[in-house]
Amino acid sequence: MKISVVIPAYNEEENLPEIARQVKLNLTGRYEREVIFVDDGSSDGTAQVLHQLCAADPELHYVSLSRNFGHQSALRAGLAYATGDCVISLDADLQHPPALLPELLAQWVAGYDIVYTRRRDDTREPWLKRRTSRAFYETMNTLSSVNFEPGTADYRLLDRRVVDVIQASPDIDLFLRGFIHWVGFRQKRIDYTPEPRFRGKTKYTVRKMLKLALSGITSFSVRPLHLATLAGAVVSGLAFLYAFYALFILVFTDRAVPGWASVLLSVLFIGGIQLLVLGIIGEYLGKLFVQAKGRPPYLVQATDAALGTPDRNPGHRWAAEVPTEPTSEK
């Protein structure tokens, strides 16, 4: 039995030695282990630190992406290289406590294919972050057919067959948190209390969070399109009724000069709805456009020498020859 651990890292140089130490500390026993760090186009010393760590320890490996592709794509890159019978993913900043690893494994051994974690509400997190995170899950659940649980991030264990399903998925913009719920299999949840970030600050900017939210909604639901249709129907229904009213005024009264306010309001209202609906359609169309181009979700720039080439790696079809030394060493 082999266990793989995948850790995406974007400018996490200060956290890497500590997370590597703690992960190894908590994964003891009769299993073979590998820890794969994915350097998501970091601009700090992450690549150098990884190079040193991996040179000193044959159980540690790294994959460097050609630029910053985002957390979800970095995770996928890590999954592509992982060769374990199960793969555990966690953040590099130690907010996902490695002390939980034995419990994840125990549930896997007990027969679960997906062991995911849910963080208890952490009052140390900024209020805004907690609030927006909760609002995100509420919106997701209203707008999609998959049930998303608040507080379930990317700290989870996946059995090999689930990893293979993810690898086989042609989605370029794969929203893993939704996909994991969608695939089914035997799932088990573990609750945990998150730790504060070890070093550095969050790499999830508001822009990245919005992008993730939008990707989540448009990946798992066409309900916004139905809502658009519904809004269109309601507005035209109202306009139809208003036409009757206008006709009534015109024919039966001498108040035939209605105020500009009602005209202006209805024009603005209908204009607004139209823009919104066009925007929603545009989001889905844009998704189709990106998917139609068939670009991989990430490109690999370098890996450490000991890491094999995965058979099914979307990033490899494009970059046929991946050098196994970081470019900074050339």
Q: Which residues bind Mg ion (CB under 5 A)?
A: 91, 93, 95
Residue placing its CB nearer to ligand UDP in the complex, 200 or 232: 200
Residue placing its CB nearer to ligand UDP in the complex, 63 or 228: 63
Distance CA 256, CA 45 (A): 74
Segment contacting ligand UDP by CB under 6 A, of 81-89, 92-100, 111-119, 212-220: 92-100
String of DSSP letters for 276-302:
HHHHHHHHHHHHHHHHHHT--S--EEE
Segment contacting ligand UDP by CB under 6 A, of 2-10, 113-121, 271-279, 281-289: 2-10
Total number of residues that touch ligand UDP (CB under 6 A) = 16
- Give, as ranges, the residues between 7 and 46 that touch ligand UDP (CB under 6 A): 8-10, 12, 40
Does the footprint of ligand UDP cover residue 95 (CB under 6 A)? yes
- The Cβ of residue 267 has, within 10 Å, a number of other Cβ atoms equal to 10
**List of long-range contacts for 201-210, beta carbons under 8 Å, 24+ apart:** 203/10, 203/11, 203/12, 203/71, 204/71, 208/70, 208/71, 209/132, 209/136
- Give, as ranges, the residues between 135 and 194 that touch ligand UDP (CB under 6 A): none
**List of long-range contacts for 304-310, beta carbons under 8 Å, 24+ apart:** 304/50, 304/51, 304/54, 304/55, 304/61, 304/62, 306/54, 306/58, 306/61, 307/36, 307/61, 307/62, 307/63, 307/81, 308/81, 308/83, 310/80, 310/81, 310/167
Does the footprint of ligand UDP cover residue 91 (CB under 6 A)? yes
The position carrying tokens 């916004």 is: 224
Residue placing its CB nearer to Mg ion in the complex, 125 or 283: 125
Binder to ligand UDP among 36, 70, 86, 177 (CB under 6 A)? 70
Radius of gyration (Cα) for the chain, nearest Å? 25
Segment contacting ligand UDP by CB under 6 A, of 3-11, 231-239, 271-279, 289-297: 3-11
Per-residue binding letters, 202-231, with ligand UDP (x by CB under 6 A): xxx---------------------------
Residue placing its CB nearer to ligand UDP in the complex, 224 or 296: 296
Query: Would you tell me which residues interact with ligand UDP (CB under 6 A)?
Result: 8-10, 12, 40, 68, 70-71, 74, 91-93, 95, 202-204
